[in-house]
Amino acid sequence: MKNDNFGKKVVGLIRDNTVPLMFILICAVCIPISGFSLPYLINEIVTRMGRNIFLILALLIPIMSGMGLNFGMTLGAMAGEIALIFVSDWQIWGIPGVVLAMILSIPISVLLGAFCGKILNMAKGREMITSYILSFFMNGIYQLLVLYIMGSLIPIKHFSIKLPRGYGIRNTVSLLNMRQCLDNLLAVRVGGVKIPVLTFIIIGVLCLFIVWFRRTKLGQDMRAVGQDMGVARDAGINVERTRIISIVMSTVLAGFGMIIYLQNMGNIATYSSHSQIGMFCIAALLVGGASVDRASIGNVFLGVVLFHTMFIVAPKAGAVITGDSMIGEYFRVFVSYAVITLALIMYETKKRKHKSLVGQQLQQAQKEADAHE
């Protein structure tokens, strides 16, 4: 009997963690084939952890309030980029530049986040597709701003970032004087592996903030809204406002995350840096075992490690197996999309199963009540 229970538990555990297990398998196969040395791999993964975790953590709050995966985090990324463009135009470099960019990004993020929240409140039940389309829509507005308005209406002084025609921003804005300034401050080398301690401290602070925030009144409200909007409203929670706040917080955090990401990269690809960021962050989170309605900080860390290991080794492994490096490139793109697809499908089927279960229980209860009469 006990054994049976144990077996069931194992099966349940495997079923709940299909995606991470699949990824562990992929990585286990690809790492030896790729032939990368362990220190190299660890170094790469640590770098990518510092680069990406903050961004992914920004996704947690909307999940808490039941708004699903926030594809609108791209909006925050745009805010971060706009702030960085200004700061690099003013030639403020190093840590002060990063801090100033973060401060500058806040009002832009709040504005964009509030707009996003308003729109999503009008599209309850299909937040994800709406936020996804919204990110495309905002990309158009962003292009309008950066390509036409900056330099013509908004003064941009520096010629290194302005297009030769006199207005608009160049395709890449170099952040060379800001490159890895957060990562290098307090960096520690352990056996050839550079650990960006300060970046990890910032990430740690954010993790603590999220843990603390879950226990505050607002955090509890968000969870209540995420559980059931109707019940939350009856309990006197302003559902619309709570949802907007959760998106605003996510957008602001995504803005910060993008600045951390870009200071590590060392340059801004003005028109493409933000476009893929949402997809990769969401894929990484899902790889860590999160689902559309449930995600923890542990999922973020596990996801980053697994997803980026795959990302590093897949092209090389693909090249070794098939003799064509493009296969590996396409493979990792395919896997990112497939993971999101799979997670979305699992979430929807689970939701439907749950719904029908509740229906059956209701029916049962009604039958019993009838029998009593």
Partner 1 sequence: MNETLDRTNLTLRDRLKAAVESFGLPRLIIAGFLLLLFIAAPFVGSDFWTQISNTLNRFSWNAVMVLAMVPMIHSGCGLNFGLPLGIISGLLGATLSIEFGFTGPLSFLMAIVISTPISLILGAGYGWLLNKIKGGEMMIATYVGFSSVSFMCMMWLLLPYHSPTMVWGFSGKGLRTTISLEGFYDKVLANFLQINIGNLSIPTGTLLFFALLAFGMWAFLHTKTGTAMTAVGSNPTFAKAAGVNVDKMRLLSVMLSTWLAAIGILVYEQGFGFIQLYMAPFYMALPAVSAILIGGASVNKASITNVIIGTILFQGIVTMTPTVMNNMIHMDMSEVIRVVASQGMILYALTRKTEGAK
Q: Is 319 in the site for partner 1 (CB under 8 A)?
A: no
Helix (H, G, I), strand (E, B) or coil at 172: strand
Q: How many residues bind partner 1 (CB under 8 A)?
A: 39
The verdict on 199 binding partner 1 (CB under 8 A) reads no
> Is 345 a residue that touches partner 1 (CB under 8 A)?
yes
Can you give the C-alpha Rg of the chain in angstroms? Answer: 23
Give the range of 48-56, 106-114, 294-302, 325-333 binding partner 1 by CB under 8 A: 325-333
Distance of closest approach, residue 329 Cβ to partner 1, in angstroms: 9
Cα separation, 51 vs 305, whole angstroms: 12
Sequence-distant (6+) residues with CB within 8 A of 32 are: none
Task: By CB under 8 A, tell whether 238 contacts partner 1.
Answer: no
Report DSSP letters for 303-338, one per residue.
HHHHHHHHHHHHHHHHHHHHS-HHHHHHHHHHHHHH
For the CB of residue 344, give the shortest distance to partner 1 in the complex, in Å. Answer: 5
Least Å distance, CB 19 to partner 1, is: 14
For residue 101, the SS3 value is helix
Shortest distance, CB of residue 202 to partner 1, whole angstroms?
A: 32
Q: Which amino acid is at 63?
A: I
User: Between 242 and 336, whose beta carbon lies closer to partner 1?
Assistant: 336
Binding string, residues 115-154; x marks residues near partner 1 by CB under 8 A: ----x--xx-xx-xxx-xxx-xx-xxx-xx--xx------
Beta carbons of 54 and 256 less than 8 angstroms apart: yes
Closest-CA residue to 268 (of 154, 184, 160, 186): 160
Q: Which two tokens stand for residue 226?
A: 């995420």
Nearest distance from C-beta of residue 323 to partner 1, angstroms: 10
Asked if residue 337 binds partner 1 (CB under 8 A), the reply is yes
Measured from the CB atom, the residue of 160 and 325 that comes closer to partner 1 is 325
Distance separating alpha carbons of residues 366 and 268, to the nearest angstrom: 61
If the CB atoms of residues 136 and 209 are measured against partner 1, the closer one turns out to be 136
Q: Does 363 bind partner 1 (CB under 8 A)?
A: no
- State the nearest-atom distance from the C-beta of 137 to partner 1, in Å: 4
Contact 251, 109 (CB under 8 A): yes
Q: Is 272 in the site for partner 1 (CB under 8 A)?
A: no
Bridge-based pairing of strands 267-269 and 188-190 is unpaired
- Sequence-distant (≥ 6) Cβ neighbours of residue 186 within 8 angstroms: 196, 197, 198, 201
Interface with partner 1 (CB under 8 A): 119, 122-123, 125-126, 128-130, 132-134, 136-137, 139-141, 143-144, 147-148, 322, 324, 326-327, 330-331, 333-334, 337-338, 340-341, 344-345, 347-349, 351-352
